[in-house]
A and B are shown apart, each in its own frame.
Chain A
Amino acid sequence: GIQVEQSPPDLILQEGANSTLRCNFSDSVNNLQWFHQNPWGQLINLFYIPSGTKQNGRLSATTVATERYSLLYISSSQTTDSGVYFCAVEGGADSWGKLQFGAGTQVVVTP
């Protein structure tokens, strides 16, 4: 299956700082999503972004499918941004419905 690597594994930010999280994948993908898991374990879908750029408030994401990576930008971070960020991909035609997750980036935003 497709390999998904996220970096960095851990990130400590001061409130107000900006950051970039990266997701590399080993093959072409049909779909790519970013998720946030808050400290209470709840998983929230952030972006569905197999290609291009999207923005949602202070978060934005860019996927360059031809170069097999995606970036998640957090601007003006807040303590509520703490948690784990995952990217997940769905591969080629024979992988319809099968999602591969990266190991995640643990983000801690300090006041």
Chain B
Amino acid sequence: EAQVTQNPRYLITVTGKKLTVTCSQNMNHEYMSWYRQDPGLGLRQIYYSMNVEVTDKGDVPEGYKVSRKEKRNFPLILESPSPNQTSLYFCASTPAGRLLLEDFGPGTRLTVL
């Protein structure tokens, strides 16, 4: 089944404890991106990647890191999480040449205490 998977789906952690949210797609898509969703603000892009080893900042990259070592995976890393990073996170992917976000992951709800 073609899909984007995220893990974990739910996470409660404490300030300063490094964490990684994984994102994986099995559709051979070139473009992947991360978003956070907060009430009243819609979705805001954190980072995106046009292809392997190519990543760029979105609107709210502070406090986050990403890597794209292989096409299928695009992990989101929070080196030192803070309470203002409590949010709902989505990963998405699409084929190259079509900026059409065809596939979203199911979301990861993160709470930082």
Contacts and interface: CB of A to CB of B under 8 A. Distances in A.
**DSSP class of B's interface residues: helix, strand, loop or mixed?**
strand
A100 B88 contact: no
Nearest to B99: A31
A88 B90 CA distance: 15
B101 A33 contact: yes
B45 A98 contact: yes
B100 A88 contact: no
Interface residues of B, number: 25
B2 interface: no
Interface of A: 1, 4, 30-31, 33, 35, 41-45, 48, 86, 88, 90, 96-104
For chain A, what secondary structure do more than half of its interface residues adopt (helix, strand, loop), or is it mixed? strand
B50 to A, nearest CB: 6
A35 B59 contact: no
B58 interface: yes
A44 to B, nearest CB: 8
B44 A97 contact: no
Contacts of B101: 33, 35, 45, 88, 99
Most buried by B among A1, A31, A41: A41
Contacts of B99: 30-31, 90, 96-97, 99
B56 interface: yes
Nearest to B49: A97
Contact of A103 (B40, B59, B107): B40
Contacts of A98: 45, 48, 56, 58-59
B45 A102 contact: no
